[in-house]
Chains A and B, each alone.
Chain A
Amino acid sequence: MQVLYFAWVRERIGLPREEIETTAETVNDLIAELRTREARYDMAFADTTALRVALDQELSEFDAPLKGVREVAFFPPMTGG
């Protein structure tokens, strides 16, 4: 699946998107998997209360299943307007 990062999440991880092969069943599982990769992922995902997630471009929850999802995006709370 495509994993996208925005704003400071993108800066901390150091890239805007990447293709990830995973068997993670939920967003939380995916985060746990990413955190084991490298310190920059571990840091970016240290506090999920400071993060939001979108699955296929719809805001979602961290316990949501990933089955069938093609695009996951992580970002801080939005500041539009």
Chain B
Amino acid sequence: MIRVQAMPFDSGGELNIFSASVAGAGAVVSFTGLVRDVSGGLSSIEIEHYPGMTEKALGAIRADAMQRWDLADALIIHRFGALDVGETIMMVATASRHRKDAFEAAEFLMDYLKSRAPFWKREVTADGADWVASRAEDEDALKRW
């Protein structure tokens, strides 16, 4: 399942629901991304996205993962809008009969989410707001797959 939403969500609750829905799988891996204050002074972040393309891109990334690995299911939830430090930005969860498939697929989803899903983060501090620059490492990470 893919969800793109402004509303906060409870990643623990979502993980329980996901795990219960794939009870036969045996292995569930999840990753949760939180807003962090790297340099100090961050008051919030704003995430812009491209409605329509976002859902398509996430759907394609998920479908690719389902094809490459032996997965029972894969979940992606990503927020947009204004988020405070410590809030949950996104989560992915994968379920498989095999631990390795679940781990690898979760990493694949994360790597593709970083630079192939149309989200743009802006950090808001007391001095103003700045768009977060993409990192070469994030682009390089895709070469693994």
Contact = CB atoms under 8 A, between A and B. Distances in A.
Interface of A: 4, 6-8, 54, 57-59, 73, 75-81
Contacts of B134: 76-79
Nearest to B122: A7
B120 A6 contact: yes
A4 to B, nearest CB: 7
A59 B33 CA distance: 24
Interface of B is mostly: mixed
Contact of A79 (B56, B57, B119): B119
A76 B121 CA distance: 11
Contact of A78 (B33, B52, B110, B118): B118
17 contacts: A54-B53, A57-B52, A57-B57, A59-B116, A73-B53, A75-B50, A75-B120, A76-B120, A78-B115, A78-B117, A79-B114, A79-B132, A79-B133, A79-B134, A80-B113, A81-B90, A81-B113
Contacts of B33: 81
B111 to A, nearest CB: 8
Nearest to B115: A78
B69 interface: no
Interface in B82-130: 89-90, 110, 113-122
A54 B120 CA distance: 15
Contact of A57 (B56, B113, B119, B139): B56
B121 A79 contact: yes
B121 A57 contact: no
Given A77-B115, A81-B90, 7 more contacts: A54-B118, A73-B50, A78-B119, A79-B119, A79-B131, A79-B133, A80-B113
B120 A78 contact: yes
A79 B53 contact: no
B62 interface: no
Given A76-B134, A78-B134, A6 B116 contact: no
Contacts of A79: 114-115, 119-121, 131-134
